[in-house]
Amino acid sequence: MTQTTLADINTDIVVIGSGIGGLSCAALLAKYGFDVIVCESHSIPGGAAHGFERNGFKFDSGPSLYSGLSYSPSPNPLQQVLAAIEEELPCVTYDTWGCCLPEGDFDTTVGAEQFCEVLQKLRGEDAVAQWKRLQLVMEPYAASAVALPTASLRLDLGAIRTVGKFAPKMLRHFSNISKLTGPFSRIMNETVSDPFICNWLNLLCFLLSGLDASGTNAAEVAFMFADWYKPNVKLDYPIGGSGALVEALVRGLTKFNGTLMLNAHVENILIDKKRASGVKLRSGKTIQARKAVISNASVWDTLKLIPEGAIPPKYRQQRQATPECDSFMHLHLGINAENIRTDLACHYIYVKDWELGITAPQNVVLVSIPSLLDASLAPPGKHVIHVYTPGNEPYKLWQGMDRQSEQYKQLKQARAEIMWQALERIIPDIKQRCEVTLVGTPLTHERYLRRHNGSYGPAIKASEGLFPSARTPLTGLFCCGDSTFPGIGLPAVAASGMIAANTLAPVHKHLAMLNQIGC
């Protein structure tokens, strides 16, 4: 990992933030031959995906569910980035996770067939028939969603060549485009009526976008169907956790002579003759950018870095009003695994009550026990557990609270209770097993991840139009990350980073990259 402490620096491109979107963008730009500096406010890279260690337990701070990383070529934009920068990410594969739902507890797998067995037990023949019908309906949409590789996208006229390369394939799917750009609920409501299947699909949509089926873009769901319901599909877990993924991207960046600056908090974006010309750090140092500044901060946090008057007031107002996902509660636990049940799954989804609505606060809890797949994450005889409420914790409950106060401690305990309840359904004596217990709140997200209101990203409904572009009204300023591509997961942010990098790259180098990764 490269750090620099030079005074005032000149470079081609400055990237603000080392989240997965920023690192994907920066590493690819370095591969294209640009001088790149990434400025990270935190002492470690990775943003919401960074890893950390306590008492020998290695934790993931954020993502816990991965797919499309263990093979190439892959439709997953993150794997496309790794292939482009020539970095391997060894993974453990698996196919099963647990469900703790109002209907009961059961295991399910990726792939369509086993879920039919679950439906047969829970809902009967008609539900199975509806699910099979949905699979058939989604086949052409899934094929359409992956017909155009994300790696081919750029936001200038060069796209005529890079995207045009796939025009014959895309034309075969032209009739599906209108459905893919709308909400998934249009497809779902035309195909299935069984309440459990509808609840299940709303749950998957929520995990993809932070919204239910009426707000989630159909293309996101079609991509998931293409990835999760193909024959012999597997899920992946990077050996070493999310920290290993971050390290792979950093290796790619530095291998091609890019630079990562840690503890480098950007105070504001510099403007010269109506062009973004660099950044000023909290330390007082400046970094001049000859070609571009790219912000991996959220849309709201990026606006705070742009001087008043540098962008049109209407644009600032529109972007400031971008709807946001709620925040998170987290439990990071290091536990004694002696005599623990032997049939544990790596992941569990807990739903308290379908009637509350899938996006209701404290209604959905996710559990990850990655040391079941990668024993190196915990000391011998131990496990690491990450439990979280995914984008359904209201920030307003915490706003303005003193993190050192007794009120804050009491609220942490109260709002963490739903996570303990979910975990006790899986491991009844969990509290007696804990050796490390860490509780995270929206204020934790806001402070350590520099996230506006601790949010995990925009909640732009499919019916409300497209996500903001990587381009901005300010010449030389681009954006990447969860504010510029639909979805709140790793594929979406990696895609955003690729698009920003490709837009700045010469077309011939972009085409060479596509050939290299097998697109």
Where would I find the H helices in 75-158?
Answer: 77-84, 112-122, 125-145
Residue 326 sits at φ, ψ, to 5 deg, of -70, -175
Domain membership of residue 303 (yes or no) is yes
Residue 279 sits at φ, ψ, to 5 deg, of -140, 155
Q: How open is the CA angle 358-359-365, to the nearest 5 degrees?
A: 75
Say if residue 193 is in the same domain as residue 300. no
Q: Residue 505: pLDDT above 90?
A: yes
Say if residue 146 is in the same domain as residue 208. yes
Say if residue 160 is in the same domain as residue 201. yes
Domain membership of residue 170 (yes or no) is yes
- What torsion, rounded to 10 degrees, do the Cα atoms 113, 116, 118, 121 define? -140
State the pLDDT at residue 498: 97
Say if residue 257 is in the same domain as residue 302. yes
Whether the CB-CB separation of 484 and 468 falls below 8 Å is answered with: yes
State the pLDDT at residue 112: 67
What is the average pLDDT score of the chain? 92
Instruction: Write the CA distances from 448 to 67, 287, 416, 453, 480, integer angstroms.
Output: 27, 23, 19, 12, 19
3-class SS of residue 275 = strand
Domain membership of residue 417 (yes or no) is no
Per-residue pLDDT band at 142 (split at 50, 70, 90): confident
State the pLDDT at residue 113: 76
Say if residue 296 is in the same domain as residue 215. no
Q: What pLDDT, in 10s, does the model give residues 189-207?
A: 999 999 999 999 999 999 8
Q: What pLDDT, in 10s, does the model give residues 417-439?
A: 999 999 999 999 999 999 999 99
507: domain CATH number?
3.50.50.60
- Please report, as a single letter, which amino acid is at residue 319: R
Domain membership of residue 75 (yes or no) is no
Domain membership of residue 343 (yes or no) is no
State the pLDDT at residue 20: 95
Say if residue 118 is in the same domain as residue 201. yes
| Average pLDDT for 283-289 | 95
Domain membership of residue 159 (yes or no) is yes
Domain membership of residue 465 (yes or no) is yes
Longest dimension (CA), the chain: 70
In whole angstroms, give the CA distance from residue 69 to residue 396: 37
Say if residue 311 is in the same domain as residue 217. no
Whether the CB-CB separation of 390 and 364 falls below 8 Å is answered with: yes
Q: Which residues, at least 6 apart from 259, have a Cβ–Cβ distance to it below 8 Å?
A: 2, 3, 4, 11, 36, 37, 38, 253
* The two structure tokens encoding residue 374: 């990668």
Report the sign of the C-alpha dihedral through residues 367, 373, 376, 380, in that order. positive
Q: Residue 452: pLDDT above 50?
A: yes
At which of 227, 260, 285 does a domain end? 227
State the pLDDT at residue 465: 63
Q: What pLDDT, in 10s, does the model give residues 458-471?
A: 888 877 766 678 89
In whole angstroms, give the CA distance from residue 205 to residue 8: 46
* Domain range enclosing 203: 112-227
Per the model's pLDDT, the better-predicted residue between 210 and 356 turns out to be: 356
Q: Helix %, strand %, coil % for the chain, to 5?
A: 40, 25, 35
Residue 200 burial (10 A CB sphere; 0-12, 13-18, 19+): buried
- Ramachandran assignment for 362, one of left (phi > 0), alpha (psi -120 to 50 degrees), beta (any other): left
Say if residue 130 is in the same domain as residue 173. yes
Q: Residue 3: pLDDT above 70?
A: no
| Average pLDDT for 198-219 | 91
| Average pLDDT for 401-410 | 95
State the pLDDT at residue 129: 96
State the pLDDT at residue 508: 97
Per-residue pLDDT band at 4 (split at 50, 70, 90): very low
Say if residue 125 is in the same domain as residue 216. yes
Per the model's pLDDT, the better-predicted residue between 113 and 90 turns out to be: 90
Say if residue 139 is in the same domain as residue 184. yes
| Average pLDDT for 354-358 | 94
Q: Residue 130: pLDDT above 90?
A: yes
Say if residue 192 is in the same domain as residue 251. no
Domain membership of residue 390 (yes or no) is no
Q: What pLDDT, in 10s, does the model give residues 309-321?
A: 999 999 999 999 9
Say if residue 214 is in the same domain as residue 117. yes
State the pLDDT at residue 7: 54
| Average pLDDT for 490-497 | 93
Tally of domains in the chain: 2
| Average pLDDT for 401-421 | 96
Q: Residue 1: pLDDT above 50?
A: no
Q: Residue 252: pLDDT above 80?
A: yes
Per-residue pLDDT band at 489 (split at 50, 70, 90): confident
At which of 227, 259, 276 does a domain end? 227
At which of 227, 255, 271 does a domain end? 227
